[in-house]
Structure 1
Amino acid sequence: MAAPTATAEAPTAGRLARPRFDRTRASGWLLLLPALAALAVLFVLPLSNVFVDSVTEPEAGLGNYASLFTDGYTLRVLGRTLLVAFVVSAAGLLLAYPYAYAMTLVGPMMRAVLVTIVLIPFWTSMMARNFAWMVLMQDEGLIQRMISPFGLGDVTLLGTTLAVGISMTQVLLPFLVLPMYSAMDQIDRRLLSAAQSLGAPRGRAFRRIYLPLSMPGIVAGVSLVFVLALGFYVTPALLGSTRNAMIAQVINVRTKELLDFGGAGAMGVLLLVVTLLVLGVSRRLAGQRASAVAPGYQPARSSGKGGQPGELRPWLKGYTALVAILLAAPTLVVIPMSFSSGTTFKFPPDGWSLRWYERLFTSPEWTAAIFNSIQAGLFTALLATLLGTTAALGLMRLAPRWRGALNGLLLSPLIVPHILVALVVFAAFLQWGLNGTLFGIILAHTAMAIPFVVIAVTARLQGMDSRLPGVAASLGASPFSAFRRVTFPLLLPGILSGAVLAFVTSLDEVVIALFLQAPGAITLPVQMFNSVTVQIDPTISAASSLIVVLVSVPILLAQVIGARRGKGR
């Protein structure tokens, strides 16, 4: 009697399970719909319009693309941009790899210091870092005075491609160090000891074992820096010149000054194609390298046996110290500059005063810029957190065959070069009447910030036990109660991380805000940019130093506290 009963009940269970399966998938699509709609309106549709303009303006055809390869000037600019991006990536790799390797060898406290040195420029405003380099490289500046004893005092740096490359290397260096350190920290150092015990010299063991295992981090960091360098606008605009223009500067001129949306769109599409090719090749290389790592092993701590620091050779100590100085020193230059009594950017200052801090908090244009930035950052964080969190929850409820494509669509604003995003937004908002409004800046920043929230919340979801909501439901909790009591508290750290990333992204974003600026819609980064390019206003030094301090102190405290807790455990 038992067997027939079990057989009869099995189909019933299957019939009951299917509607629940369908409801889960349907709820996933409903949760995804707001974020997908926002990105479709604010990013995908404007991007397609730019492509259409590139083949229809000023007349239908491929004339804009043909001119890219026939006018001579565009190819030179593109070649210069690719060369600078390649040199910056290669120079950054040479600087970042030993530094990241040293981070895996030192003890907890020193590792906290090295990580802090990387994170401070990573989180500090890009305008502050570029302003610091402009002060250092100006005529009769500190760098020119330092090289004068070697007979190179008359060398002009500011306005050259060399200055752009040096600044971009320092600005992008954290994007190389962090992926490399993440990959190296997972390598089992006992493999090196095993190779040396079998007779391999130290250098050969490193070259044959450690270097291939760290290659995914190298590929990820180099490809990220190369793609970011292709769309860089602020650094070339501040430290370069029109004679040595990069492609982002040319796109800006064609869009804002000439209103040549067809030619600018063609250049943007070409830049996007190059970016996608680079990402495709890097992903293939990273996949091949990652397949060489044996699955399932549990690596020992990188610091060595028993958690003690590994051996750090003298040359590596010196090299690490030099890279640390390169990372930190240019950013710290703005602090003494903010106390200058002069009206120029001379460093070191001739006199000391608090006049620029007073102007920062009393001048109408600076206070309005600060208020606009905070307001835009808060609204961006709110909108992006709501849209990104629901999208991440929706992704986890879909079938695996849909997740990859939809996740790529949600992260697409990060893949497209930043200057092309600015062009896309400017062209669309010009038609919609949103140019020159703070609301337009908030919408554009929201589209840029959604991917950061999706990444943070998805990472938290993947580390959460998916059975917990089911257990709560089996104990009588409603779906809403299970989410409020179980899922939401577990997701809260990821949600807060995404909100912070969204706020910082909006607070530091300058290129899109430059395209959309108007007298009533100027953010703090735009005001800082204008204080250098439009007028000489040393108030930028006070704003930059305030940003550096507000970023540095929390990061340093968090790293020290974390290191002490880790040492105590």
Structure 2
Amino acid sequence: MATPTMVEAPRTTGRPAPASKARRARKHLLLLPALIALVILFVVPLISVVVDSFTEPTTGLGNYASLFTDGYTLRVLGRTLLVALVVAVVGGALAYPYAYAMTLVGPMMRAVLVTVVLVPFWTSMLARNFAWLVLMQDGGVVQGFLKAIGFGNVTLLGTTLAVGISMTQVLLPFMVLPMYTAMEQIDGRLIAAGQSLGAPRARAFRRVYLPLSAPGVLAGMSLAFVLALGFYVTPALLGSTRNAMIAQVINVRTKELLDFGGAGAMGIFLLVVTLIVLGLSRRMAGAATSLVAPARSEQAGEVRPWLRVYTAVVGFVLVVPTLVVIPMSFSSTQTFRFPPQGWSLRWYQELFTSPDWVASILNSLQVGFFTAVFATLLGTTAAFGLARLRSRWRGAVNGFLLSPMIVPHILVALAIFSVSLRLGLNGTLIGIILAHTALAVPFVVIAVTARLQGMDSRLAGVAGVLGASPANAFRRVTLPLVLPGILSGAVLAFVTSLDEVVIALFMQAPGAVTLPVQMYNSVTVQIDPTISAASSLMVVLVSVPILFAQIAGARRGRRGKR
């Protein structure tokens, strides 16, 4: 029998062959469309704001000096920072026990608690603020409750307290979700282990569980603080000019005074504060994660009675806007009174027959559709290019792709409005679509990247070994596996555009009014209860699919363990 001949493998020099270099270069080209789009739609407008802040109306540091020498501006800055800090601290205290309870309950109850968080997370911010306006107005439910328990006729609407309450409720989901993500990786038996070693339960929780959950706490609170800095709609609807926050002043200086230099300096100040807070929180979270948490036990833990009651109360606060806007949509009177004094379908009829409301709905659907298409194409190709990028560059490129999520929203609106005026895009739907695309690309990148990370990259190579061309391997193997992430990203992009109001308010004009802008104007310009019907429609369209998805996921998980 002949013996096989041993053939020596060719030695490699460590340098990739020219063909592999070319293939890698082509793969990296997938990043270019998204990078170029963000540079044009996001970076250039921001640079324009920075330049204006140093050159308008005169060259120098005058705009920045006025931030700390102008008494009014300094008070507004201080109020904004204080409100954002209080919202982050109070919201973090409210969110922590709720997130902890989510780790203790069984799969079905966890699905309900997650849904309670996700419904307000995706529900229109205008709908939630409208609900708080109804509840806290003079003669409203909150004032009546405070009077009944002995506080007298407390005026909330138009105060900083009303703004803080609404902002805390709006931002609670942003704090609960990071905390829950961190807590679900912690084995609850560690507390029992600490008790077995002689530590009281409270001390074991404080010394063991709390440090392990600290990264999630820091992430949630820092995110809430950063988002609160750029809030515009809530202070505008529930506050007043006497207790204005920085976003309101930026809006006035930009749209009414055309003071782009002063407004730009305020926006850049917010950006610097944002970067400092995020940098500190990341550093502190990194130190906290030096403790390695083991895998979480899948068994449900004991939920004490006080925690059950607390979770129910926080859940009720989270869904209060839903509980208000739906009954309000069936009111028969042209007021914002709750509960309604009569019942009718007139506001739904107005929603689908009024030329202004129908036009705003069609505009939002059109803007949302094209935003989803453009953002999905850009974000998906960027995610594929990012997956093939060397690790030393991946972090920086990924950070750049996600940067529109970090910059305060009011600064993005200011930058885009300033450039749109110069290019003649202000007051056009194409201008809004381009702006929304820049905001939506990060959501698509996150969704598709998460799907790619969970996929075995060797599958496409196996298909190639079996004779499939690269195009066929992508179409028959890679694309079906990544498609759920692409579709999720497209939905996120569409919803992001559908609910965006600040940029749309800056760029509104006859014929370019989106549904959120129409809803905002129905409260601030005219008393039009049709907003309750529009809000209810958005709530139902979001909450029902989320609820079914959560229940179905819980059932699949339970069946998989049998």
Does the residue aligned with 2:241 lie in a helix, a strand or coil?
Answer: coil
SS of alignment partner, residue 376 of structure 1: helix
Name the amino acid aligned to 1:10: R
Corresponding residue for residue 322 of structure 2: 331
Residue of structure 2 equivalent to 1:44: 43
Aligned residue in 2 for 1:470:
461
Is the contact made by 1:27 and 1:397 (CA closer than 8 Å) also made in structure 2?
A: no
Matches of 1:562 and 1:398 in 2, distance apart?
33
1:487-537 deviation per Cα after TM superposition (whole angstroms, max 9, x unaligned): 111111111111110000000000000001011000000000000001110
Query: What is the CA–CA distance in structure 1 between the aligned matches of 2:14 and 2:47, rounded to whole Å?
Result: 45
How many angstroms apart in 1 are the aligned matches of 2:27 and 2:323? 47
Amino acid at match of 2:274: T
Which residue does the alignment assign to 1:278? 277
TM-score of the two chains, using structure 2 as the length reference: 0.97
Residues 1:393 and 2:384 are matched in the alignment: yes
Contact kept? 1:32, 1:394, Cα under 8 Å: yes
The one-character-per-residue Cα deviations of 1:451-492 (angstroms, maximum 9, x if unpaired) are: 000111111111111111111111121111111111111111
Alignment of 1:342-421 (within 5 A): 342-421=333-412
Equivalent AA in structure 2 for residue 6 of structure 1: E
| Distance of 1:422 and 1:10 partners within structure 2 | 57
- CA distance in 2 between counterparts of 1:33 and 1:137 reads 49
Alpha-carbon distance in structure 1 between the residues aligned to 2:22 and 2:388: 10
1:381 corresponds to which letter in structure 2? Answer: A
- Local SS of the residue matching 1:104: helix
The count of residues paired between Structure 1 and Structure 2 equals 558
Q: Give the alignment partner of residue 485 of structure 1, picking from 471, 476, 481.
A: 476
Unmatched tracts of structure 1, length 5 or more: 302-306
User: Per-residue deviation at 1:317?
Assistant: 1.0
- Per the alignment, residue 541 of structure 2 pairs with 550
- Tell me which residue corresponds to 2:8: 6
The equivalent of 1:146 in structure 2 is 145
Pairwise CA distance, 1:146: 1.0
Contact 2:404–2:442 at 8 Å: present in 1 too? yes
Deviation at 1:190, TM superposition (A): 2.2
2:296 matched residue in structure 1: 299
SS at match of 2:242: coil
Q: Tell me how far apart the structure 1 counterparts of residues 321 and 432 of structure 2 sit (CA, whole Å).
A: 30
State how far apart, in whole Å, the 1-side matches of 2:518 and 2:455 are. 43
Match of 2:53 in 1: 54
For residues 379 and 116 of structure 1, the distance between their equivalents in structure 2, rounded to whole angstroms, comes to 28
Question: How far apart are 1:25 and its partner, in Å?
Answer: 2.8
Is the deviation greater in 548-557 or in 233-242? 548-557
* Displacement of 1:298: 3.5
Matches within 5 A, 1:126-137: 126-137=125-136
Give the RMSD, CA atoms, in angstroms: 1.6
2:93 aligned partner: 94
Q: Paired residue for 1:524, among 492, 512, 515? A: 515
Q: Deviations over 1:192-238 (max 9, x none)?
A: 22211111111111011100000111011001100000000000000
**Structure 1: distance between partners of 2:381 and 2:255:** 36
Give the structure 2 partner of residue 304 of structure 1.
none
Q: Does 1:105 align with 2:125?
A: no
1:161 paired residue number: 160
1:238 corresponding residue in structure 2: 237
Q: Equivalents in 2 of 1:145, 1:14: separation in Å?
A: 77
**Aligned 1:417-436 pairs, distance under 5 A:** 417-436=408-427
Query: Equivalent residue for 1:204?
Result: 203
Percent pairwise identity: 75
Verify the 8 A CA contact 1:28 1:395 in the aligned structure 2. Answer: no
State the alpha-carbon separation in 1 of the partners of residues 152 and 546 from structure 2.
38
CA contact (8 A) 1:28 1:396 kept: no
Q: Which residue of 2 aligns with 1:441?
A: 432
Aligned pairs for 1:161-240 within 5 A: 161-240=160-239
Equivalent-residue separation in structure 2 for 1:112 and 1:540 (angstroms)? 30
1:3 CA displacement: 11
SS in 2 for 1:292: coil
**Paired residues of 1:24 and 1:397 also in contact (CA < 8 A):** no
- Do structure 1's residue 453 and structure 2's residue 444 form an aligned pair? yes
Q: Does 1:498 align with 2:489?
A: yes
Q: What are structure 2's unaligned runs of at least 5 residues?
A: none
Distance between the aligned counterparts of 2:19 and 2:498, measured in 1?
Answer: 43
Work out whether residues 126 and 171 of structure 1, in 8 Å CA contact, stay in contact via their aligned partners in 2.
yes
Counterpart code for 2:11: A
| TM norm structure 1 | 0.96
Structure 2 distance, partners of 1:557, 1:163, is 34
Partner Cα distance (2:22, 2:190) in 1? 49
* AA in 2 matched with 1:202: R
> Counterparts of 1:345 and 1:36 in 2: how far apart (Å)?
46
Report Cα offsets for 1:53-92 as digits up to 9, x if no partner. 0000111111111111111111111110010001101111
